[in-house]
């Protein structure tokens, strides 16, 4: 039952993330989360499966839809929700908000609001690992829309030229904001079909199956560590909410939504566990308890100290302009 024990742990991690995303939605709708949020409900298997295949010291870069990656790499639900509510106990001390969740101590080197901007950063991190001989790899998660951004092509090209230990993971949820990616892209698989142009392997995986994601990332991560260079994985998935909290997602066909909701990451894992005779009831109860406690703690946490506003601005911790 070793496999069942591992799958149950992955399921529980996904359940915590799903409940945290729902809590973020509820807190936003009640006015306790300011600005906007981009929820990743439906994407959990990508973050959890990938992290299960990575080393603790590997580097991860994510998009503004990055709550799931922050938690998969070690940020707690309380830290994330407190950050969304601009509390001092937030993972970034209330300086990042929903779109910039970062936990460098866990290798989570940030979520980035500028589409595609973090892909060259991941290449730089991989170069650093190569120079230091650390055998770390860098993993850049990005949406399908980023494949039509110049930084995507620049990052793949340079990573291939220098054979860097970097893995590019496209979370293809079919829509770039409100536009179907298929309507504006010349190839059917926006990421994987372009990788060969740079001499990079491009693979496709069911992004809602946590075990398939884990296994695919494990193979590509080992390839990167061995010195074989970069690779790309296109994980096919679907978001349960709109692009952001201002988006009701009415542009998506009802039958498409229904089909993908039946292919839910938690549902797939739950069915697989049931076939092994394992119930998820206790895991679900623990997840509910963890997130409920996180919501209460975040609500009751203090606001940020204004005296801290100009700290951690530069690498040396100061606020003076560099000369």
Segment 11-24 mean pLDDT: 98
pLDDT in tens, 273-291: 999 999 999 999 999 999 9
Segment 11-29 mean pLDDT: 97
Query: Which residue did the predictor score with more confidence, 211 or 245?
Result: 211
User: Would you state the structure tokens that stand for residue 22, as one six-digit string?
Assistant: 């729902």
Question: Of the given ranges (29-33, 166-170, 243-247, 257-261), which has the lowest mean pLDDT?
Answer: 243-247
Going by DSSP bridges, is the β-strand pair 179-180/59-63 parallel, antiparallel, or unpaired? unpaired
Question: Of the given ranges (200-214, 251-265, 306-320), which has the lowest mean pLDDT?
Answer: 306-320
Check residue 17 and give its pLDDT. Answer: 98
Select from 48, 24, 20, 19 the least CA-distant residue to 36: 24
CA 260 to chain centre: 19
- pTM score of the predicted model: 0.94
Segment 125-132 mean pLDDT: 97
Name the pLDDT band for 320 (thresholds 50, 70, 90). Answer: low
Select from 8, 24, 3, 4 the least CA-distant residue to 68: 24
d(CA 254, CA 308): 47
User: How many percent of the chain have pLDDT more than 90?
Assistant: 90
Helix (H) or strand (E) holding 139: strand 138-143
CATH class (in words) of the domain with range 2-298: alpha beta
Q: Are 310 and 320 in contact (CB under 8 A)?
A: no
Select from 203, 198, 200 the least CA-distant residue to 153: 198
Select from 142, 128, 201 the least CA-distant residue to 173: 142
User: How many percent of the chain have pLDDT more than 70?
Assistant: 97
pLDDT of 176 > 60? The answer is yes
Select from 157, 162, 160, 104 the least CA-distant residue to 131: 162
pLDDT of 322 > 60? The answer is no
Select from 181, 194, 63 the least CA-distant residue to 122: 63
Provide the total of helices (H) and of strands (E) in the chain, helices listed first: 10, 8
DSSP, res 303 = P
Going by DSSP bridges, is the β-strand pair 166-172/231-236 parallel, antiparallel, or unpaired? parallel
pLDDT in tens, 37-84: 999 999 999 999 999 999 999 999 999 999 999 999 999 999 999 999
Q: Are 207 and 235 in contact (CB under 8 A)?
A: yes
Name the pLDDT band for 248 (thresholds 50, 70, 90). Answer: confident
């Amino acid at each position: 039952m070793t496999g069942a024990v591992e799958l149950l742990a992955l399921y529980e991690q996904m359940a915590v993330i799903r409940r945290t995303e729902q809590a973020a939605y509820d807190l936003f709708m009640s006015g306790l989360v300011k600005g906007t949020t981009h929820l990743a409900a439906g994407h959990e298997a990508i973050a959890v499966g990938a992290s299960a295949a990575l080393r603790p010291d590997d580097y991860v870069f994510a998009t503004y839809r990055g709550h799931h990656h922050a938690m998969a790499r070690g940020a707690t639900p309380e830290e994330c929700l407190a950050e969304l509510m601009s509390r001092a106990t937030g993972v970034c001390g209330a300086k990042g908000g929903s779109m910039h969740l970062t936990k460098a101590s866990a290798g989570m080197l940030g979520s980035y609001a500028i589409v595609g901007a973090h892909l060259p950063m991941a290449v730089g991190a991989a170069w650093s690992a190569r120079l230091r001989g650390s055998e770390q790899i860098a993993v850049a998660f990005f949406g399908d829309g980023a494949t039509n951004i110049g930084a995507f092509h620049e990052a793949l090209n340079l990573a291939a030229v220098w054979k860097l230990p970097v893995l590019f993971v496209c979370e293809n949820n079919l829509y770039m904001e409100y536009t179907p990616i298929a309507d504006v892209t010349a190839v059917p698989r926006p990421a994987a079909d372009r990788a060969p142009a740079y001499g990079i392997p491009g693979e496709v995986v069911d992004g809602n199956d946590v075990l398939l994601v884990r296994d695919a990332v494990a193979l590509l991560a080992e390839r990167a560590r061995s010195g074989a260079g970069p690779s790309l994985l296109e994980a096919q998935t679907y978001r349960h909410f709109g692009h952001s909290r201002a988006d009701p997602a009415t542009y998506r066909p009802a039958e498409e939504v229904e089909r993908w909701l039946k292919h839910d990451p938690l549902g797939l894992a739950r069915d697989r566990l049931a076939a092994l005779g394992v119930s998820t009831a206790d895991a679900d109860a623990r997840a509910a308890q963890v997130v409920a406690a996180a919501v209460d703690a975040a609500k009751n946490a203090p606001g940020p100290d204004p005296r801290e506003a100009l700290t951690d601005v530069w690498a040396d911790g100061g606020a003076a302009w560099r000369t």
